[in-house]
Structure 1
């Protein structure tokens, strides 16, 4: 995992575009929130008329889900969807570069008492959340209630990994680990830790890989030391 934000090797020309992306993200984060909303609306209006694959998928899904609504209403939903996605990108920039208080000031948790009850039980805890557009607000707010570990998809570019994801995570009481690092996740849970999962595809992958891991490695984790060792039938 790339955690060192700068190395001499990062000056290689192959990383120049990555550094440019980091700089652009910083510039986008310092924009007032009202500007970010306006830019997101402008992006939505521009992209809504395009016929690329992503926009076509959005339009097709909305047409099927709201078949009884008017064309104008469905078109408005398309634009709202694109705007929300653009705002999510700004939220990513904000969680990386802005103070945590900016991300949590206007967020309210409904049902906080249930999370506190689960934490008091001192047992392994999985926080499963939908991959919706206010995801980064959810991460930042929940981290004020309890520290946790986050399963995520690591960037292949070390410059962007260190200066975006790792930089953002460093501002919060959270730890990132790759979605395929099932051993680490199980070790966290075995230690009664809290693990945050935000994507349906990742959740399915985690469950499948965890099952296979436990079949072959159950003796190695303290959580399973007391489980009977049963031989599998051939």
Structure 2
């Protein structure tokens, strides 16, 4: 995709409120780091109290994945997790609006050689990410450390879409953006030896996936990781980003390539992906995005784990 360009249409009055919110977000992002963390925690507490749907989803996920915890322990984990989700909103502002100099002081990175080595030999890399609440900061840190192409889903609000892309792409002029549905574009990038960001840890249905165990629960798991590695002749290299609040920094860790992928068996590859993801979730459960319906697709005959979505009322035409 071409780089985002400002258009006069984005100044239409119907977008003024969005611009105002971004102005406030920009100003908040300039506040001292610890102030923003405190604000994020407060926001997370409000979400826990008033976002009933998301709270119920997170509660169900934690019950499924951590049955060994007592009810009190799960409540405590839920509270920490919602605080982390609130902080994530602050972190998106930091990633998009703070200076590169400020951001560089906020992270350490280890294992970058695992990403560099295959590319030095002309081989592409599926940079396997996971949906932790540090996602936006992690994307910024990786882009500042290495040229990475990203998968992207356009936002319905064109102002938000423009600002999101500007914020994400400003850290590397060499990086390209690929629409999430642009499978051919991703394969071409991998075949050219590029590193492409890809997160396979959410439920995208079973049409392009298989049921593979996650915490012992059958979970719809996309087989894209396996196919991209096979057709793109690429290595699968995972990475994580951990928020170290007491130190005010983030730890980026790039892991060795998962050489077992592709194995020729997409189910076994999906099992490998889920085993790796589960291990990282167990290491840092409070910072994972449990508010998503990770187990929404069920095998035939199984009931949904989650309460039905509330239907939005349609506006009456005058």
TM range (shorter): 0.7 to 0.9
| Total equivalences in the alignment | 212
User: How far does residue 137 in structure 1 lie from its aligned partner after superposition?
Assistant: 2.6
Distance 1:167 1:74, change over 3 A: closer
User: How far does residue 59 in structure 1 lie from its aligned partner after superposition?
Assistant: 1.8
User: Aligned with 2:107: secondary structure?
Assistant: coil
Question: Where does structure 2 lack aligned partners over 5 or more consecutive residues?
Answer: 205-220, 233-318
Structure 2 residue 81 is matched with structure 1 residue 81? yes
Greater CA radius of gyration, 1 or 2? Answer: 1
User: Aligned with 2:123: secondary structure?
Assistant: coil
User: Which residue is equivalent to 1:190?
Assistant: 191
Q: Which has the higher strand share?
A: 2
User: Which residue is equivalent to 1:111?
Assistant: 111
169-178 or 187-196, which moves further after superposition? 169-178
CA contact (8 A) 1:152 1:179 kept: yes
User: Which residue is equivalent to 2:24?
Assistant: 24
**CA–CA distance in structure 2, aligned partners of residues 103 and 47 of structure 1:** 27
Question: Where does structure 1 lack aligned partners over 5 or more consecutive residues?
Answer: 215-234
Structure 2 residue 14 is matched with structure 1 residue 14? yes
**CA–CA distance in structure 2, aligned partners of residues 22 and 164 of structure 1:** 10
Distance 1:18 1:194, change over 3 A: same
User: Which residue is equivalent to 1:222?
Assistant: none
CA RMSD of aligned residues (A): 2.9
User: Which residue is equivalent to 1:224?
Assistant: none
User: How far does residue 208 in structure 1 lie from its aligned partner after superposition?
Assistant: 9.7
Distance 1:99 1:199, change over 3 A: farther
Distance 1:107 1:187, change over 3 A: same
CA contact (8 A) 1:126 1:194 kept: yes
CA contact (8 A) 1:25 1:93 kept: yes
User: How far does residue 128 in structure 1 lie from its aligned partner after superposition?
Assistant: 0.9
Deviations 1:67-124 (A, max 9, x none): 4434432222111111111111111111111112333423222322222222222112
Distance 1:27 1:120, change over 3 A: same
User: Aligned with 2:151: secondary structure?
Assistant: strand
User: Aligned with 1:49: secondary structure?
Assistant: helix
117-126 or 194-203, which moves further after superposition? 194-203
Distance 1:69 1:190, change over 3 A: closer
User: How far does residue 135 in structure 1 lie from its aligned partner after superposition?
Assistant: 1.7
User: How far does residue 51 in structure 1 lie from its aligned partner after superposition?
Assistant: 6.1
